[in-house]
Amino acid sequence: MTKIALITGANKGIGFETARQLAASGGVHVVLAARDRAKGVEAALKLQAEGLDVEALTLDVTDAASIAAAVKEIDKKFSRLDILINNAGIAFQNGSKNVSDETLDVWRKTFDTNLFALIAVTQAFLPLLKKSEAGRIVNLSSILASLRLHSDPTSPIYDFKMPAYNVSKTAVNGWTVQLAYELRDTKIKVNAAHPGWVKTDMGGPAAPMEIVDGAKTSVALALIDAKGPNGAYLHLGEPLPW
């Protein structure tokens, strides 16, 4: 049976490459979700031109009505969802790396997209995921979520302070663990993925990893079998310190 996968924020960057790799893995129909319908359709057409099983879906993860409409459409077409990859996210700053200078507006906007929208989308699609024989939820996190590494002066991210973004991803990890616990006796597995520092609009040109590699962790977690991890925080198969 063909698996149905939904990827948020998938019209470009890591989300787009994740859609490509997941569809290319075989046996997966990918629903490429984007806030801008035109951009989503354009992205889906590119992958369809490569012979991949992909379609576009309009979904603004910060809009309750848009989420509800997306759930209704997936339910009508497929009656279930097998894979949810919460890829949509933002890195928004006011120019300062000082926690004390970051405005509440920046904190709120960052958390609205990176955490609250992720929770809202997951809650909305959970009934459809429960209809799957092997539901998989992948939450895009970051190594910048690691409290242990941020508090270690010898770690590679010690000086990488983007307060609102970092803490929002720490919260995503927390949500991942809590939901994984709730679903521990079900067929659904929930994990957090660090894609790596990737050459995207967010990662910038100085990033050491190519987009093709940045998608690999999400794809692998989307396709884990019954023996795969639940409630883990991983990068390319390796656990990261919380």
Per-residue pLDDT band at 203 (split at 50, 70, 90): low
Per-residue pLDDT band at 208 (split at 50, 70, 90): low
Work out whether strand 233-235 and strand 238-239 pair parallel, antiparallel, or are unpaired. Answer: antiparallel
Q: What pLDDT score was predicted for residue 205?
A: 65
| 23-32, 187-196, 205-214, 216-225: least confidently modelled range | 205-214
Q: What pLDDT score was predicted for residue 201?
A: 64
Give every CB contact of residue 159 below 8 A, 6+ residues apart in sequence: none
Q: Which of 158, 165, 181, 233 is catalytic?
A: 165
| Average pLDDT value over all residues in the chain | 94
Question: Cα dist. 69→17, 66, 78, 161, 228 in Å?
Answer: 25, 5, 14, 37, 32
- Give yes or no for residue 199 having a pLDDT over 60: no
pTM for the model stands at: 0.95
Q: What are phi and psi of 222, to 5 degrees?
A: -70, -25
Per-residue pLDDT band at 172 (split at 50, 70, 90): very high
Token readout for 240 is: 């990261």
HEC string of the chain equals CCEEEEECCCCCHHHHHHHHHHHHCCCEEEEEEECCHHHHHHHHHHHHHCCCCEEEEECCCCCHHHHHHHHHHHHHHHCCCCEEEECCCCCCCCCCCCHHHCCHHHHHHHHHHHHHHHHHHHHHHHHHHCCCCCCEEEEECCHHHCHHHHCCCCCCCCCCCCHHHHHHHHHHHHHHHHHHHHCCCCCCEEEEECCCCECCCCCCCCCCECHHHHCHHHHHHHCCCCCCCCCCEEECCEECCC
Token readout for 50 is: 């490569």
* Average pLDDT estimate for 69-96: 91
The number of distinct structural domains making up the chain is 1
Task: Indicate if 165 belongs to the active site.
Answer: yes
Question: Cα dist. 161→157, 188, 197, 213, 227 in Å?
Answer: 8, 34, 14, 24, 36
CA atoms within 13 A on the CB side of 30: 35
**Per-residue pLDDT tens for 97-144?**
688 889 999 999 999 999 999 999 999 999 999 999 999 999 999 999
Q: Tell me which residue range forms the domain holding 175.
A: 3-239
Q: What pLDDT score was predicted for residue 197?
A: 77
The CATH number of residue 50's host domain is 3.40.50.720
Question: Cα dist. 81→5, 21, 199, 236 in Å?
Answer: 6, 18, 30, 24
Q: What pLDDT score was predicted for residue 204?
A: 62
User: Whole-angstrom Cα distance, residue 168 to residue 100?
Assistant: 16
**Per-residue pLDDT tens for 7-24?**
999 999 999 999 999 999
User: Whole-angstrom Cα distance, residue 118 to residue 122?
Assistant: 6
